[in-house]
Chains A and B, each alone.
Chain A
Amino acid sequence: MSSLIDFKSISKIYEIGKIKVPALIEVDVNIEDGEYVAIMGPSGSGKSTMMNIVGCLDAPSDGVYKLSGERVDGMTDNQLADIRNRRIGFIFQTFNLLPRADAFHNVELPLIYAGLPRIKRREMAKEALERVGLADRIKHRPNELSGGQRQRVAVARALVNNPNLLLADEPTGNLDSKTSYEMMELFGNLHSEGNTIVIVTHEEDIAAYSHRVIRLFDGKISSDVRQEPRNGSNGKFAGKPEE
């Protein structure tokens, strides 16, 4: 398997005034194509920073990050924007949907920035909404949708450009437990369709759906464990993972 995400001693140091705050310290990590990974850790452990670097939203202070074997450092802003557009799909805790736009327009956004014509966009956005089970909600606005449905729209937006990598930052953080499980089921399905998924979460039972759990503590990887997923893509119930 080729390495999709390749971190070589990645460090990120934030400078707040004169104080230097290290968020990540020489992190080495490899994530292969088709993996389903949960990144866990207490707040301040650097998991969001790691997510941002993986998503090409932020650049590391030191180290080399290769995405699909390509070095990301030294790329122009436009190149990074195109990578985010075509190769990565983001799912946010707060959904980040345009409130006044219907599901269709929210989903078609990445396609607009990909420069696709209207007809093609309509087709692809419809398809993505069908994949998340919202074919009948195309014309609905976020305020006409439930929390779970909103997050599904956000997932459809992340999926619409057929990226190699889905990045989800606390995707169930704003959902009740029942909807959370439904969401995790959707992620499991997407994974079994061949998508690479990286989830940042602090909830153990959400991480339990993944096949691999990377734990961060104070900017370093404290553990990196492969596990049998609970009720995941292979349909088996794995039970609560050990602490």
Chain B
Amino acid sequence: MGYAIHNISEGFWIAFRALFANKTRALLTTLGISIGVITVTLMMMIIQGLNTSVASQLEVMGSGTVYIERHPWIIMDDWWRYRNRPRVTKEQFEEIKRFSKLAEYVGAYTYTGRPIAFRNRTRDRVGIIGVTPATADAMSWMPEYGRYITDSDMITTRKICVIGADVKEQIFEPYDPMGRNLRVGPYNFKVVGILEKKGSTFGQSNDNYVMIPFSTLTHNFGHRRDVTIAVKAKDPSQMNDLIDELTWLMRRARNLAPNEDNDFSINDSAMLTDFYKRITAGIYAAGVIIGGISLLVGGIGIMNIMLVSVTERTWEIGMRKAVGARTTSILWQFLVESMIITMIGGIVGILVAMIGGKLLGQFLPTSLPLWLGLSAMAFSAVVGLIFGLFPAVRASRLDPIVALRQE
């Protein structure tokens, strides 16, 4: 064991000398490995970055919240099967709200687009969301200043609004929007609250909205609208039970016969996570295959150069054996040499991938966790070990006499 450690550590210095003697060749040989490591690392960095950003963006939708809608968020099969589904209505919302036992908050919202204006500043088309008082809690989307929509706003179809952070910044700056009138379509809405900033999801701002009472929206902008019912579970660990309950309540509300399929969808962020995982699995596989191929090609290059090196240094191997090198010492010398080549390739690859990640970071989120760097290094070493094995075995088995005869 002690001898093996001695072999490896001395093999390291011997290999280092040999590589230093052939700097250009060693560097060129590392290129193939570098490219492989760059591909895999960069691919992983992008996926890692996406993972973190998607996780935080899905958080925006609220965990423990499901959305009852006419269509599923992601349609993987034939879209036309969903075409003739009836709308989700306000009545169905009321029924869920009344009968659900597992829901903590049940809110509804519906959506329209209208131009908005304050003084001479206008926006062409901004999302106007009609919400019920519980929607804020159901979606975990609270006002930061002022208040939200109340039951009395609903009853009186009052023209008040709670605005998103973008609307405040783009329409009202430098004025304080609270208490001022915002023109929505042909009507004036008094600002009573400002929503907390949500940031953007997949490049789309979540703060460019104006929220008004649900009843005011249907009363002034038309009532034949798709309604989304947002339901927050009392216990986030009971999501499946909640979905079962909601499905049953919706089927009852829509008078579906037992043999009829659901004509509504219960969406939650887990669906998006699943979908996202399916996409990234593809990117992942592609990255691993491309990286694997370039590592294979790089590895064959290493093997080739190591075989050349063994042939060139046959006399050296003979001399080393003559002065007392054991078979294992020679084996380790060449194995360590090929591992150093691939590990240098790995380091170069990681460095280039880091730079590449910085450049890509302007378009895509990337991140390089420590384990990724370390496993890239370990993987390069393993490639060196595998492809260096054959040349090293060949070197170690050389007959010292035959080897010494070579000049």
Chain A positions within 8 Å of B, measured between CB atoms, are 52, 55, 57-58, 77-78, 81-82, 84-86, 90, 92, 94, 96, 98-101, 105, 109-110, 112-115, 157, 161
Q: Which residues of A contact B401 (CB under 8 A)?
A: 52, 57-58
Task: Let me know if A110 and B323 touch, CB within 8 A.
Answer: yes
Task: Let me know if A96 and B326 touch, CB within 8 A.
Answer: no
Contacts A57-B401, A101-B17, A112-B10; is A94 near B407 (CB within 8 Å)? Answer: yes
Q: Which residues of B contact A92 (CB under 8 A)?
A: 319, 322, 404
In the complex, which of the residues A94, A110, A113, A157 contacts B326, with contact meaning CB atoms closer than 8 Å?
A113
* Cβ of B196 to closest chain A Cβ, rounded Å: 65
Chain A residue with Cβ nearest B322: A90
Q: List 9 A-B residue pairs with CB atoms under 8 Å apart, sorted by A's residue number.
A: A57-B400, A81-B325, A81-B327, A90-B322, A96-B316, A105-B17, A110-B323, A114-B324, A157-B323
Q: Is B320 an interface residue (CB 8 A)?
A: yes
Interface of B is mostly: helix
Task: Let me know if A81 and B17 touch, CB within 8 A.
Answer: no
Task: Let me know if A81 and B407 touch, CB within 8 A.
Answer: no
* Cβ of A16 to closest chain B Cβ, rounded Å: 13
Contacts A101-B17, A113-B320, A115-B6; is A78 near B326 (CB within 8 Å)? Answer: yes
In the complex, which of the residues B316, B321, B404 contacts A98, with contact meaning CB atoms closer than 8 Å?
B316
Contacts A100-B20, A112-B10; is A82 near B319 (CB within 8 Å)? Answer: no
Q: Which of A58, A78, A101, A113 has the most CB of B within 10 A?
A: A113
CA distance A77 to B397 in the complex (A): 11
Q: Which of B323, B326, B407 has the most CB of A within 10 A?
A: B323
CA distance A110 to B320 in the complex (A): 8
CA distance A101 to B329 in the complex (A): 18
Q: Is B315 an interface residue (CB 8 A)?
A: yes
Task: Let me know if B404 and A86 touch, CB within 8 A.
Answer: no
Task: Let me know if A113 and B17 touch, CB within 8 A.
Answer: no
CA distance A100 to B322 in the complex (A): 19
* Cβ of B85 to closest chain A Cβ, rounded Å: 78
Q: Which residues of A contact B318 (CB under 8 A)?
A: 96
Chain A residue with Cβ nearest B2: A115
CA distance A105 to B323 in the complex (A): 13
Q: Is B3 an interface residue (CB 8 A)?
A: yes
* Cβ of A195 to closest chain B Cβ, rounded Å: 17
Q: Is B21 an interface residue (CB 8 A)?
A: yes
CA distance A194 to B305 in the complex (A): 46
Task: Let me know if B327 and A86 touch, CB within 8 A.
Answer: no
Q: Which residues of B contact A82 (CB under 8 A)?
A: 324, 326
Chain B residue with Cβ nearest A52: B401
User: What does the 1/0 interface line of B130-141 toward A look like (CB < 8 Å)?
Assistant: 000000000000
Contacts A96-B315, A100-B17, A113-B329; is A57 near B322 (CB within 8 Å)? Answer: yes
* Cβ of B127 to closest chain A Cβ, rounded Å: 72
Total CB contacts across the A-B interface at under 8 A: 68
Task: Let me know if B324 and A86 touch, CB within 8 A.
Answer: yes
Chain A residue with Cβ nearest B21: A100
Other A-B pairs beyond A77-B326, A85-B325, A114-B324, 15, CB < 8 Å: A57-B401, A57-B404, A77-B327, A81-B321, A90-B322, A92-B319, A96-B316, A96-B318, A96-B319, A98-B316, A105-B17, A109-B320, A110-B323, A113-B324, A157-B323
Q: Which residues of B contact A58 (CB under 8 A)?
A: 401
CA distance A115 to B4 in the complex (A): 10
Q: Which of B6, B324, B407 has the most CB of A within 10 A?
A: B324
Task: Let me know if B327 and A55 touch, CB within 8 A.
Answer: no
Q: Which residues of B contact A94 (CB under 8 A)?
A: 315, 407
CA distance A206 to B280 in the complex (A): 77
In the complex, which of the residues B6, B18, B323, B404 contacts A109, with contact meaning CB atoms closer than 8 Å?
B323
Contacts A94-B407, A100-B20, A115-B6; is A84 near B316 (CB within 8 Å)? Answer: no
In the complex, which of the residues A55, A86, A98, A112 contacts B322, with contact meaning CB atoms closer than 8 Å?
A55
* Cβ of A109 to closest chain B Cβ, rounded Å: 5
Task: Let me know if B21 and A84 touch, CB within 8 A.
Answer: no
* Cβ of B86 to closest chain A Cβ, rounded Å: 83
CA distance A85 to B327 in the complex (A): 13
Q: Which residues of A contact B2 (CB under 8 A)?
A: 115
CA distance A88 to B260 in the complex (A): 94
User: What does the 1/0 interface line of B1-12 toward A look like (CB < 8 Å)?
Assistant: 011001000100
Q: Which residues of B contact A90 (CB under 8 A)?
A: 319, 322-323
Complex interface residues of chain B between 111 and 136 (CB less than 8 A to chain A) = none
* Cβ of A233 to closest chain B Cβ, rounded Å: 25
Q: Which residues of B contact A81 (CB under 8 A)?
A: 321, 324-327
User: What does the 1/0 interface line of B387-407 toward A look like (CB < 8 Å)?
Assistant: 000000000000011001001
Chain A residue with Cβ nearest B313: A98
Chain A residue with Cβ nearest B327: A77
* Cβ of A65 to closest chain B Cβ, rounded Å: 15
CA distance A130 to B319 in the complex (A): 22
Q: Which of A81, A82, A105, A114 has the most CB of B within 10 A?
A: A81
CA distance A101 to B401 in the complex (A): 23
Task: Let me know if A85 and B17 touch, CB within 8 A.
Answer: no
Q: Which residues of A contact B10 (CB under 8 A)?
A: 112
* Cβ of A162 to closest chain B Cβ, rounded Å: 13
Q: Which residues of B contact A52 (CB under 8 A)?
A: 401
Q: 3 closest pairs, A vs B, by CB?
A: A85-B324, A100-B21, A96-B319
Chain B residue with Cβ nearest A85: B324
User: What does the 1/0 interface line of B314-343 toward A look like (CB < 8 Å)?
Assistant: 011011111111110100000000000000
* Cβ of A14 to closest chain B Cβ, rounded Å: 11
Complex interface residues of chain B between 1 and 55 (CB less than 8 A to chain A) = 2-3, 6, 10, 14, 17-18, 20-21
